[in-house]
Structure 1
Amino acid sequence: MLLAIDLNLLAEQIKATSFLEWIAVSFGVTEVLLARKNNVLLYPAGIIGILCSGFLLVDAKLYAETLLHAYYLVMSIYGWAMWKNRSASGASRISRSTISEQKITWAIAVGGWAFLYFMLTNFTDSDVPVVDAFVSSTAWAGMWLLAKRKLENWIWLNVSNLIAIPLLFHKQLILISLLTIFLFIVAIFGYFDWKKELDQPNAKLKTL
């Protein structure tokens, strides 16, 4: 019975999905697939998806989510520049996080969770502030590592995805939860693809 209800809900959501939302989802999927291939074009694809999502969120008056997407937009532009930067300060090839970068990553995740939890509990009617804040803060950390082209970005993004999947089902967002399951699977392959390339001696940089 529950499965039938979920399938009916999924069918209704698919029918109600706007053309702009399909574009946003399509470019979001494209972004992750390109990231798995270590392809710098993930950033223009991601930016298009973020802008489309931004219009939808503003129209729905989800201003907090809009601000979150604004962060993703800034990080996408920053990451694009970092990936194209061939100097020592850039991120022209895959690498592992240094101790310093690991500390920054944890600071983003923990500090971001505390900030979002405070905002959600004091300025919204969220009924899942702990989990919702955790999903976003770990995604923030993953996006920062992706901009740095660090292998560990996949771990942080999948921690976020893993917690987001049951949360989205709980909120009856079936279509988005199924998309998140797909992204979770792609991220697993992305981690091993990046690790394989990183472990190859004299591996050539992929920029296209």
Structure 2
Amino acid sequence: MQFQEYFSLFIEQIKATSYLEWIAVAFGVTEVMLAKRNNILLYPAGIIGILLSLYLKLKVRLYAESLLSMYYLVMSIYGWIIWSKRKAKNEALPVSWTSKQELQIAFAIAILGYFILYFALINFTNSDVPILDAFVSSTAWAGMWLLARRKIENWIFLNVSNIVAIPLMWHKGYVMFALLTLFLFIVAIFGYFDWKKIYKRQLTVSS
């Protein structure tokens, strides 16, 4: 297929994008930009986007991705509560590197989550992409857990998920979600380095 044909297909998919998908993508972009700035408003923006994307993913049988959205919802509420308590006490939630124990937990979430999701998908659903769906969701689960705890490595786990999610969303016909995921991948790279700078500033202030 020539470039012109690819471009025409892309334009057709853009035109076919529903208003609901556009809105979900807009809130997704807002969430990640606020996360990059370490801003608590990332959570309400994220919750709206999560609920919209959950509905859309269920429509195309992305069951593990739907579970991931539910997990995002729970972790967003969890993270919002933690941040709110810190803010009420006039305390900033510090950014930090992941400890050895936390890293082990994150890998456990990713690995065990993958096998549990894969088993569930092949045995209890009509999913046609169980391997990719399970992988994207399980690695993102680990990343969201680290994000709620303000760990710098959350960006790495989330980007491992993002790089696989891009072709998965495209395959399912969600071109805007694929572009959003590509955007999230790029922002996560900058987010990683921004959080490293925040961590260094914290050390300077505390010393």
Tell me which interval the TM-score lies in, with the shorter structure as reference length: 0.7 to 0.9
Taking structure 1 as reference, are residues 106 and 72 closer, same or farther at Cα in structure 2, changes over 3 Å only?
Answer: same
Is 95-104 or 159-168 further displaced after alignment? 159-168
Contact 1:139–1:157, Cα closer than 8 Å, also in 2: yes
Q: Deviations over 1:116-175 (max 9, x none)?
A: 110122123334322221111000100111111111100000011112223344555433
Cα distance in 2 for residues equivalent to 1:22 and 1:177? 12
CA distance in 2, matches of 1:63, 1:165: 14
Q: Which range moves more in the overlay, 77-86 or 60-69?
A: 60-69
Separation in structure 1 between the aligned mates of residue 205 and residue 26 of structure 2, nearest angstrom: 30
Partner of 1:36: 36
User: Are 1:10 and 2:13 an aligned pair?
Assistant: no
CA-CA distance at 1:176 after TM superposition: 2.5
Structure 2: any 5+ residue segments left out of the alignment? none
Q: For the structure 1 residues 130 and 18, does the alpha-carbon distance in structure 2 shift closer, same or farther, using more than 3 Å as the test?
A: closer
Say whether residues 1:130 and 2:131 are aligned partners.
Answer: yes
Question: What is the TM-score normalised by the length of structure 2?
Answer: 0.86
Aligned to 1:188: 189
Contact 2:57 2:66 in 1 (8 A): yes
How many angstroms does 1:37 deviate by? 0.8
- Residue in structure 2 matched with residue 26 of structure 1 by the alignment: 26
Matches within 5 A, 1:66-105: 66-86=66-86, 92-105=93-106
Contact persistence 1:10–1:175 (CA under 8 A)? no
Confirm whether residue 150 of structure 1 aligns to residue 140 of structure 2. no
| Residues 48, 127 of structure 1: alpha-carbon distance in 2 compared, 3 angstrom cutoff | closer
Normalised to the residue count of structure 1, the TM-score between the two structures is 0.86
CA distance in 2 between counterparts of 1:26 and 1:187 reads: 17
Identity of aligned residues (%): 61
Q: CA deviation at 1:36?
A: 0.7
For the 8 Å contact 2:122–2:130, the answer to whether it is kept is: yes
Q: Measured at CA, do residues 169 and 22 of structure 1 come closer, stay the same or move farther in structure 2, by a change above 3 Å? A: closer
By how many angstroms is 1:66 displaced?
Answer: 3.4
Cα distance in 1 for partners of 2:149, 2:72 equals 14
Structure 1 residues 203 and 133, CA, compared in 2 at 3 Å: closer, same or farther? farther
For the 8 Å contact 1:164–1:180, the answer to whether it is kept is: yes
Q: 2: CA distance between counterparts of 1:101 and 1:134?
A: 20
Correspondence 1:54 to 2:54: yes
If each structure's helix is expressed as a fraction of its own residues, which one has the higher value? 2
Q: Secondary structure at the match of 1:86?
A: helix
Q: Aligned-pair RMSD on alpha carbons?
A: 2.5
Aligned to 2:175: 174
Q: How far apart, CA to CA, are the structure 1 residues paired with 2:112 and 2:50? A: 24
- Residues 108 and 19 from structure 1, CA distance in 2 versus in 1: closer, same or farther, beyond 3 angstroms? same
Distance 2:6 2:84 in 1: 44
Alpha-carbon distance change, 32 to 68 in structure 1, aligned in 2, over 3 angstroms:
same
- Structure 1 gaps of 5+ residues are none
User: What is the distance in 2 between the residues matched to 1:33 and 1:125?
Assistant: 35
Question: Structure 1 residues 77 and 195, CA, compared in 2 at 3 Å: closer, same or farther?
Answer: same
Deviation at 1:199, TM superposition (A): 1.3
Q: Distance in 1 between matches of 2:135 and 2:150?
A: 22
Distance 1:191 1:139 in 2: 15
